[in-house]
Amino acid sequence: MKYHSHPENLDEDGYTQLDFRTRGIHKRPEGSEKGSQASSLPWRPIVVALGILCLVALVVASVLGVLGHFSGPCPPNWVIHEKSCYLFKMSQNSWAGSKRHCSQLGAHLLKIDNSKEFEFIESQTSSHHINSFWIGLSRNQTEGPWLWEDGSAFIPNLFQVRDTASKESLLHNCVWIHGSEVFNQICNISTFSICEKQL
């Protein structure tokens, strides 16, 4: 494009006319084009490498997610704590029915071995503060010793079993946990339960 400021190049309104003919315009040297392309080339491998890394990370995350779901130390819906898996069963059953159901899952009703385990269970049941959960503690007769499902004796310094028996009904021979409190209860009442299995 050539700009003409001579009076003969003015139109009738006095504006300058532009000449769009390619006379005098020189083609840009090819070396400068190649130079600009060469300066952008180092970014191409970086962008490609980042894209490949993102793809690899996505594939690895997917594979780990699938493997973690199917081959984790505990079955799906079970919670791990130290050397055990716990299932907070949300279907209601009697103490004996809950014991049977845990057994069918290759587990047993919860046995609390130490204060650290009790604190873990308490933290889990506190989030379900309106529900009670059967645990594996019972006795054969009123005033008899509390025994765990495996026959071992209950150690009273772990927690206190609060008495809910009235004078009319003394058959409160099974134990459930409600929030952070543990109570004796009539064994045929239906409620939730906690199953436990060793890793």
Alpha-carbon distance of 16 to 35, in angstroms, equals: 37
Average pLDDT over residues 21-42: 56
Alpha-carbon distance of 129 to 78, in angstroms, equals: 19
Confidence of residue 171 (pLDDT cuts 50, 70, 90): confident
pTM > 0.75: yes or no? no
Q: Do residues 197 and 94 make contact, with C-beta atoms less than 8 angstroms apart?
A: no
- 125-156 residue pLDDT tens: 988 778 999 999 999 987 889 999 999 999 98
The mean pLDDT value of the chain amounts to: 81
pLDDT at 36 over 70: no
- Could you identify the residue written with the tokens 């400068």? 32
Count of CB atoms within 10 A of residue 118's CB? 16
Pick the most confident of 60-69, 116-125, 139-148: 116-125
Alpha-carbon distance of 30 to 60, in angstroms, equals: 46
